[in-house]
Structure 1
């Protein structure tokens, strides 16, 4: 074999045997992101492991791939964004504080309002028995379907519809999480939250002073339901809207 061909064959072999872990699909890249989140206060190991298990760069435009593992929100088109990993982690960790999740050691059956590109649904799928995710924008619903098919998540059901209505056909849900914030919590969400279940959503604070994270627990005491609401830190999410587009 000519010397030039030997050199080319050697170079090809070297490329094929080059150590993995240097690209965006590297476990090392995701672990660095998770380590930063842990240093910043995210402590739930279940959530950290789920975040480490999802390739975030596969859910954003390829031009933004280099930013995928930074703690930043990124545009996904149609005026929507993919939330910061820290916010995704924080909200899912809050869901684990509900009575049903504590008893089942999983998030059980989850309703997600606002599928977006599908990233959060992919993380939830690693922590739940089933995820039902609703998106009102058809192009994003279609994009999420493609993204999640590639991720091979078999316990996710995607619904094109009005998230304010929830999804009564699969209710009740042990956990409900919303990726958009309005001035009120739709009654349909509360109606579809199982006893012992927990809802986590952004909501406009009283007086219209921005958004805060709101947690609602559905308690059942002596056969009587009641909902206990708590408010937490300020957040910034896209507005919650009705209808489909």
Structure 2
């Protein structure tokens, strides 16, 4: 099929002849991510000989200003009495109206009833401008993540999924050096583009985000300087009980030795006790 043309307002005036009374009957018969197929009922025989083409008007349901028009020759339509419109936007609803075009005058006849058809959702592109900030509150360290929607939405975004990669280097309670890497996935409620996640002190964080439509998840965002942060060290989350034992005794005076147990430095280096 050729390109869409500008909308024409030249229509035939209904008369007593069969063409002037004819109103196409059109239904939706199929859809893909980028196309919609419409079925047109064959016209009566006394009308068929006057029809040179069908004129389809397509209007975006979400944006009424997007009006497009296409003329399709009758010999193309009459092969299967269906029309497939390609190169449409994924996950978009359209309203279609058909008119028969007179083969001699070129004027369009009566409009059919509007038919609503929607293309299927497609996986979206990656979310844009992912950024994270680490807030090392002593009692409630958190990560605040924000991003912009994908450039190619592919339909209606139902939610976002965020992958949080965490890494840390520290000495454990036995004095051994540890290097840990872990990750978790967080899903948003609806299509919100902000999320707050509870963090851990002394931890490097890296964030990637993907959007989900009915077609499934899209591309993951790329890691960048803005999508990474470091949570500053904090106090130990647990301090084990220390032991006391007698050290020396002189008369009524006794001296005890305090034997503190080693504390994990997972939340940051410990300088002294």
- TM-score band, normalised by the shorter chain? under 0.3
Larger radius of gyration: 2
Report the TM-score when normalising by structure 1.
Answer: 0.20
Report the TM-score when normalising by structure 2.
Answer: 0.19
1 or 2 for the larger relative contact order (CA 8 Å, sep ≥6)? 2
Greater strand share, 1 or 2? 2
